Amino acid sequence: MNPACTPLPSPALRDGHSTQNMTASTRKSAVRTISKAKDISNSNGFEEVHKSKEMKLQELYGISVFNDAVQRQMLPRSVYQALRRTVESGAELDLEIADAVASAMKEWAIERGATHYTHWFQPMTGLTAEKHDSFLTPGGNGEPLMAFSGKELVRGEPDASSFPSGGIRATFEARGYTAWDPTSPAFLRETADGATLTIPTAFCSWTGEALDKKTPLLRSCEAIGTQAVRLLHLIGEQAVSRVYPTAGAEQEYFLIDREFYFLRPDLVSAGRTLVGAKPPKGQELDDHYFGAISHRVLAFMMEAEQELWKLGVPIKTRHNEVAPSQFEFAPYFEHISVAADHNMLTMEVLQDVAERHGLAALLHEKPFAGVNGSGKHLNWSLCDDLGHNLLDPGKTPHDNLKFILFLCAIIRAVDLHQDLLRASVAVAGNDHRLGANEAPPAIMSIFIGDNLQEVVDSLVEGRAPAQSEAANGDDLRLGVSALPDLPRDATDRNRTSPFAFTGNKFEFRAVASSQSVSYPSTILNTIVAESIDHLANEIEARSEASDRGAMIQEIVRETLSKHGRVLFTGDNYSGDWEAEAQKRGLLNLRTTPEALDYFASEANTALFDKYGVFSPRETASRSNVLYEKYIGRIHIEALALKELASTVVLPTAINWQGNLADSINATLSAAPAAEIGPQREYLEEVASVTGHLKAACDKLTVLCDLAQAKEKALALGDLAAWYCADVIAAMDAVRAEADHLEGLVDDETWPLPKYRELLFVH
């Protein structure tokens, strides 16, 4: 209760140069500026935008990409064909061809204003990295020559020894090099001041060990491709010679005004708000989800789309998401490694374009407590070189059989490798979603829809499935006479499942919004490769069977009865599911350190090694990097919160406390008989919460000071667990007091933009 009282200005304010006063007016003036701002999208001096708007989408799309059409046009026929062979089947490219490609690339790029080229790679930071070199080579008589050789295209030596390697190399040891990935086309990054030819590459050590996220992804594509082709050949699809995973990553993000962003040191340092009381209105009214997109946001989205289209990123969908100020972009699907590159570009472009619009794009999984967090739904399927989606149930009996076999492989993979799948999305920010009070939960399960579930149940029980109303005559016949009809399940959706079948693809919803999709994709490819391998082995082992159809059906039945426990159609948010999952023996790894403890287990190390995805040393190094990243993130959050609470919230609260005390004293001296009981209670509450905040800050400080000693004493896993338990508990305690004070202290003097402003003022 805030009884009406007119506090006297505190001594500092009376002096007329209080920092309190300045910070408070900074916040208020940010609100004023933002509320007066018109659409500033076109006042940013970025002329390209205007040019873009005059172009049709068809003309714009891929205009900055050295894509197939450009290659075909610019390269001699034999060079073009050699390059295609490399792209499609990984055939080695000799230096002569590389020289010809480099020369065409250079010509194309320079014509478009490029002065530099860069090998673009994805180190284990989870971000992208680049080091630019100009084409310039001074000629003998001082004339500038523009040079770019095949050697420079194929291999770079950025050294780049400061990236995390998880122990694979010490900084004084072997250097890293980048190797051209011809499967992902080169592109131009343009700014108003010039352009850079950007060449997607893999990043390895001289010993050939992967130091990045792309190399293992490409290896996992090969593993799953090989096994899938093998299985297809076993069921008579000899015409297929190549299978690759496809993906489309839906990107969720928040947009807030940049004026606010810079007034929140927590957002700047940690990417999320570390304090902030719940606003009176959040997402309770469901009025943001799919709502009309505001003009300012739409201007931002359109420019971001144009930028991405130019780069050949097939952005298809844009909409408002559940939380206020939360949005989503979704692309059309592509080869998974290109999709991974394109998602990295999407995240970069969102942040760039936001800046030009006076906004900040927040990619963190949980920028704001109390409203929905952001994820990245990774839609995933398999495609063969004849253009068939292997997860499309199809129309013919043979296609149904194929579909059921791949479905079986995936169900088995997710059940058998829940730990890895969970570990693949284990990053600090995701702990606020998975296993916290938000979904999807940390329990890995699969949703396949009621109709398909009935088919699975009937296959296991060896009976005909009950016909569902949804079938509507659109039944699918399975290839084996004894197998029942499969009703096509087109509508059923379960938004609470971490891994859902959505008609002709799976949607892995537990992926973190800020995460590179390379990592979860690599894991998913690997575990499904192992499962397909297993099914193929089973079929081969029983090749003597007289009734091949019945034999395959039996393998399907065995697999589904063994691994069907991972299927769940109900509400994944409910407490009942947690209990039920425990009964079924499913893992529930609530936090990142718990999940990471499984990553480099003996079985997983062997699995990665067997499919050539990570060598045992690479697995160990990955595991280290993942722990280190988690520890680093929480450490930064702890320091940022400590500083914010001690130097911003606490002084504000103490000043307000002084104000109240002065006001009460002044009232008593002016009117000794005045009833000031409630005012005194108010002061006591402010004083008591302020005291609690100070104590909580002290505790957090002690832990931050302990960190170095802990680092020396503990193994990485234990150190991560310490941060997860002790440090996070201390941070939660600080936040609780700070948020309580936000509701007690005079709004005029509160320096941090509040949730109602961050989320609703734009």
The interface partner of residue 332, options being Mg ion, ligand ADP, none and the CB cut-off 5 to 8 Å by kind, is: ligand ADP
Structure tokens at 153: 């295209």
User: Applying CB under 5 A, which part among 149-157, 369-377, 451-459, 517-525 lies near Mg ion?
Assistant: 369-377
Nearer to ligand ADP, 176 or 312 (CB): 312
- Closer to ligand ADP at the Cβ: 334 or 597? 334
In contact, 223 and 208? CB cutoff 8 Å = no
Which entry of Mg ion, ligand ADP, none binds 389, CB below 5 to 8 A by partner kind? ligand ADP
Task: Find the shortest distance in angstroms from Cβ 663 to ligand ADP.
Answer: 56
Tell me whether residue 383 or residue 744 sits nearer to ligand ADP (CB atom): 383
Shortest distance, CB of residue 509 to Mg ion, whole angstroms?
Answer: 7
Neighbours of 139 (CB within 10 A): 9
Binding region for Mg ion (CB under 5 A) out of 196-204, 375-383, 648-656, 712-720: 375-383
Long-range contacts of 69-75 (CB under 8 A, 24+ apart): 70/108, 71/101, 71/104, 74/104, 74/107, 74/108, 75/100, 75/101, 75/104
Q: Dihedral of CA 722/725/728/729: which sign? A: negative
User: Which residue of this chain has its Cβ atom nearest to Mg ion in the complex?
Assistant: 377
The piece of 90-98, 316-324, 377-385, 469-477 that touches Mg ion (CB under 5 A) is 377-385
Is 377 one of the binding residues for Mg ion (CB under 5 A)?
yes
Q: Return the closest-CA partner of residue 653 out of 750, 748, 732.
A: 750
User: Which parts of this chain interact with ligand ADP (CB under 6 A)?
Assistant: 246-248, 250, 330-333, 379-381, 389, 502, 504-505, 507
Whichever of 333 and 682 has its CB closer to ligand ADP, that residue is: 333
Nearer to Mg ion, 359 or 448 (CB): 448
- Cβ-proximal residue to ligand ADP, closest one: 248
User: Which residues are registered as beta bridge partners of 256?
Assistant: 360
- How is residue 497 written in tokens? 């499942």
Least distance in Å: CB of 338 to ligand ADP? 12
Q: Per CB under 5 A, does 376 bind Mg ion?
A: no
Nearest Cα to Cα of residue 23 among 756, 640, 748, 746: 748
* Residue closer to Mg ion (CB basis): 336 or 727: 336
Buried b (16+ CB within 10 A) or exposed e, 82-104: bbbebbeeeeebeeebbbbbbbb
* CA proximity to 406, closest of 507, 244, 529: 529
27 is a contact residue toward Mg ion (CB under 5 A):
no
Q: Measured from the CB atom, is 190 or 384 closer to ligand ADP?
A: 384
Residue 333 interacts, among Mg ion, ligand ADP, none and using kind-specific CB cut-offs from 5 to 8 Å, with: ligand ADP
Nearer to Mg ion, 342 or 377 (CB): 377
Q: Smallest gap, in angstroms, from Cβ of residue 438 to Mg ion?
A: 16
* Of the candidates 561, 566, 594, 591, the residue with the CA atom closest to the CA atom of residue 581: 566
Give yes or no for a contact between 556 and 548, defined as CB atoms under 8 angstroms apart. Answer: no
In the complex, the smallest distance separating the C-beta of residue 507 from Mg ion, rounded to whole angstroms, is 6
By the 8 A CB rule, do 253 and 374 touch?
yes
User: Locate tokens 């089947």: which residue?
Assistant: 89
**Closest CB 389 distance from ligand ADP, rounded Å:** 5
The listed partner (Mg ion, ligand ADP, none) that binds 21, CB under 5 to 8 Å by sort, is none
Dihedral angle sign, alpha carbons of residues 141, 143, 144, 145: negative
d(CA 49, CA 523): 39
What does 331 bind: Mg ion, ligand ADP, none (CB cut-off 5 to 8 Å by kind)? ligand ADP
Strand-pair partners of 205: 176
Q: Least Å distance between CB 248 and ligand ADP?
A: 3
> Smallest distance from the beta carbon of 349 to Mg ion, in angstroms?
21
> For Mg ion, which is the closer residue by CB, 377 or 433?
377
C-beta of residue 253 within 8 angstroms of C-beta of residue 348: no
Expressed in angstroms, the distance from the first to the final Cα of the chain is 30
Minimum CB distance to ligand ADP, residue 611 (Å)? 21
Q: How far is the CB of 451 from ligand ADP (least distance, A)?
A: 17
How many residues at the interface with Mg ion, by CB under 5 A? 1
Q: Which is nearer to Mg ion, 216 or 498 (CB)?
A: 498
Q: Residue 755's binding partner, choosing from Mg ion, ligand ADP, none, with beta-carbon cut-off 5 to 8 A by kind?
A: none
Instruction: Burial-class residue 240 by CB neighbours within 10 Å (0-12, 13-18, 19+).
Output: middle
| Helix, strand and coil percent figures for the chain, each rounded to 5 | 50, 15, 35
Q: Output the 3-class SS for 192-212.
A: CCEEEEEEEEEEEECCCCECE
Binder of residue 246, out of Mg ion, ligand ADP, none (CB less than 5 to 8 A by kind): ligand ADP
Q: Which is nearer to ligand ADP, 72 or 319 (CB)?
A: 319
Q: Name the region of 166 (left: φ>0; alpha: ψ -120 to 50; beta: rest).
A: left
Give whichever of 380 and 608 is closer to ligand ADP, judged by the CB atom.
Answer: 380
Here the tokens at position 386 are 């004849």
Q: Interaction with Mg ion in 216-255: which residues (CB under 5 A)?
A: none
Interface segment toward Mg ion; rule CB under 5 A; list 213-221, 371-379, 652-660, 736-744: 371-379
Q: Smallest distance, Å, CB 215 to ligand ADP?
A: 22
Q: Whose Cβ is closer to ligand ADP: residue 262's or residue 289's?
A: 289
Query: What's the min distance (Å) between Cβ of 250 and Mg ion?
Result: 5
Distance CA 225, CA 219 (A): 10
- The interface region with Mg ion, picked from 184-192, 376-384, 602-610, 635-643 by CB under 5 A, is 376-384
Query: 177 - beta bridge partners?
Result: 204
Angstrom distance (rounded) from CA 399 to CA 549: 14
- What tokens were used for 101? 């490609």
Binding site for Mg ion (CB under 5 A): 377
